[in-house]
Amino acid sequence: MALDTGIRTYNISFELMKGIILILLFTGELEYRAFDYSSTKLLFPTDDEKVLACSERAEQIREQISTHSWNDPRGQGWYLQDGTGTFQGYIC
């Protein structure tokens, strides 16, 4: 009988997942930007925990790349700081 001395990682789950940021460019094109997020939980993360991790990461990215305006003549929204379009949302 062989003794299994391998490292066991089945009690800890670390998943690197992808989400998508939706950007509407002022040229009228819809741009999809992939982003990574991770869910680190003991035992296996639930789907709800994965969605929350994705949402938190997407909100961080939104804050980094865009600024909200109520007074812009084009309307209220999250305008990209590089002036190319607007942040429309994300998909997890």
Strand, helix or coil for residue 52: helix
Task: Please state, in angstroms and rounded to a whole number, the distance separating the CA atoms of residues 76 and 71.
Answer: 6
* 79, amino acid identity: Y
pLDDT of residue 32: 96
Contact assessment for residue 19 and residue 35, using Cβ atoms and an 8 Å cutoff = yes
pLDDT of residue 15: 57
Q: Total domain count for the chain?
A: 1
pLDDT of residue 75: 87
Task: Give the domain extent around 16.
Answer: 12-91
Q: Does residue 3 form part of some domain? A: no
Q: Does residue 80 form part of some domain? A: yes
pLDDT in tens, 72-92: 888 899 999 999 999 999 998
Confidence of residue 45 (pLDDT cuts 50, 70, 90): confident
State which H helix or E strand residue 51 sits in. Answer: helix 47-65
